[in-house]
Chains A and B, each alone.
Chain A
Amino acid sequence: MKSRTRERWAPWLLLLVTLLIWQTLCSVFAVSEFIFPSPLRIAQQTIEYRDVIAGHAWRTFWVTMAGFGIAIVVGVLLGFLIGSSRLAYAAVYPLMTAFNALPKAAFVPILVVWFGIGIGPGILTAFLISFFPIMVNIATGLATLEPELEDVLRVLGATRRDVLFKIGLPRSMPYFYGSLKIAITLAFVGTTVAEMTASNEGIGYLLISAGSAMQMGLAFSGLVVVGAMAMLMYELFNAIEKRTTGWAHRGSQSQ
């Protein structure tokens, strides 16, 4: 029990210690706030500009969620396709890997040409960067089905669809939730990157404009806010994963 509580508080303690050291270093060496603002200064600016930051944060949040939503739909469908057909797997997988290796930031200028400045590039960049892990995980979950399990159903005259719905899908759920945790953090990266050049709103835009106005405290606030949002969503999906697919994490439940 005691080690449980300690585990729960450990990240907060580490954060606190980091902030203390950061603050101390900034104060002792009198680092200019235009170079590297202290935590206090960042907090100050966050409070001062809270309305502005909240507006930009909301924009980034919903743009990310829109892109992430599309990523879930496309990722699941593609994963479904390549996970349930060997031919599709062979055909699609290499191309997808090549696509995934491209830096998504490089797409932003192209997306601007197609969709103009605004939410389009943000949503699409978030989507492009985050659908891949979802697709791969669903495909893996489906493709690694034990042949015995399939035989048990097939001797009963089960169709491929039966096997997919009774075994394949439930079995790939832990993979799916696992991938959501990775994908949501990536989606925030995508949106922020796109907003830096292709938007007049959002945290990415805030970072660029604060930077060019030498408001380093504000820029850091933006970073903190994106980090916090990504972490919150990560924890949300983590909680959903634990709740819905507890059977896959049985080691930690200690019966």
Chain B
Amino acid sequence: MSDQAAPFLDFQKVWLAYNDELLAQQKFAVEDISLQVQRGEFIAIVGPSGCGKSTFMKLTTGLKKPSKGSIHVDGKPVNGPLKISGMAFQSPSLLPWRTTLDNVLLPLEIVEPHRSRFKARRAEYEARAMDLLKTVGLAGYEKQFPWQLSGGMQQRASICRALIHEPQMLLLDEPFGALDAFTKEELWCILRDLWSAQRFNVVLVTHDLRESVFLADTVYVMSKSPGRFLVKREIDLPRPRDLELTYTPAFGDIVHELRGHIGAIRKT
């Protein structure tokens, strides 16, 4: 977090067209994206729907390669799936034939070095998964199937699955979008606590401005397609942040300011 340290995530003038045809027509999904994220920083990306937020996620994880520009993560150029990130989406997308515990364990069956020692160390990994489930309030539900859980509980399990292999970067694509307001706030706090304890990098894509201001260190506002970063807003509210904070004038002012940027985009 010192200034000499190279940024953890470094986008240099990144452009992406989804295929060659679109590239030839100069139609880009995201344009000229540059950003530098420090290690352990929590960033949020907000913007109207269809603005390339999810494209940004795909670039960050290495699922898509930029058409122009370069992306470095942890000092290394990104040339393919990174294996150091975990993802969660708006739909929990848990596997219905696996118990909650087995769903959470899934990444360990895929990613090295856990993969090759999964069988030998299963008990240890299960204990780790149980601990994680406990921290998000799912103790006692390990043996339940996802479809026996409520939507909020499924989303918690989904976040556990994204974190079980202790990724350096957590990518969340509107993870709380489908939840009711109260469950949502509860999960904000869970995410806040997980992040405070482990200090991984978080990229949160959302269109809930309160969510972004409450959780993030830095909020980026994206414009509608083609996606560009219009505004970078550092959130200097003190941590640890409590839900009460969301009712203070300072918090409201920032949300209002960001809302103003979104409004400005919509008019153009």
Q: Are A151 and B63 in contact (CB under 8 A)?
A: yes
Given contacts A166-B109, A255-B148, contact A157 B96 (CB under 8 A): no
A19 interface hit (Cβ, 8 Å): no
Within 8 A of A (CB), among B67-112: 80-83, 85-89, 91, 93, 95-97, 106-107, 109-112
Q: Are B97 and A170 in contact (CB under 8 A)?
A: yes
Within 8 A of B (CB), among A107-151: 146, 148-149, 151
Residues of A near B109 (CB, < 8 A) are 166
A232-B208 Cα distance, complex, nearest whole Å: 56
Residues of A near B148 (CB, < 8 A) are 255
Of chain B, the residue at the smallest CB distance from A245 is B97
Give the Cβ gap from A30 to chain B, nearest Cβ, in Å: 59
A162-B111 Cα distance, complex, nearest whole Å: 10
Given contacts A167-B95, A170-B95, contact A154 B147 (CB under 8 A): no
Contact partner, B83, options A146, A151, A157, Cβ 8 Å:
A157
Residues of B in contact with A, size category? 20 to 34
Q: Are A247 and B147 in contact (CB under 8 A)?
A: yes
Residues of B near A157 (CB, < 8 A) are 80-83, 110-112
Q: Are B111 and A154 in contact (CB under 8 A)?
A: no
Give the Cβ gap from A67 to chain B, nearest Cβ, in Å: 30
Of chain A, the residue at the smallest CB distance from B96 is A247
Give the Cβ gap from A141 to chain B, nearest Cβ, in Å: 12
Residues of A near B112 (CB, < 8 A) are 157
Q: Are A146 and B107 in contact (CB under 8 A)?
A: no
Query: Which are the 7 A-B pairs with shortest beta-carbon distances?
Result: A157-B83, A156-B111, A155-B61, A247-B96, A156-B110, A148-B89, A148-B93
- Add 9 more A-B contacts to A149-B93, A153-B106 (CB < 8 A): A148-B93, A155-B61, A155-B85, A157-B82, A157-B110, A157-B111, A167-B95, A247-B96, A247-B145
Q: What residues of chain A have their CB less than 8 Å away from a CB belonging to chain B?
A: 146, 148-149, 151-158, 162, 166-167, 170-171, 173, 245, 247-248, 250, 255
20 A–B contacts from the bound complex (CB under 8 Å): A146-B93, A148-B89, A151-B61, A151-B87, A152-B87, A152-B88, A154-B81, A155-B83, A155-B85, A155-B86, A156-B86, A156-B111, A157-B111, A162-B110, A166-B109, A167-B95, A245-B97, A247-B97, A248-B97, A250-B96
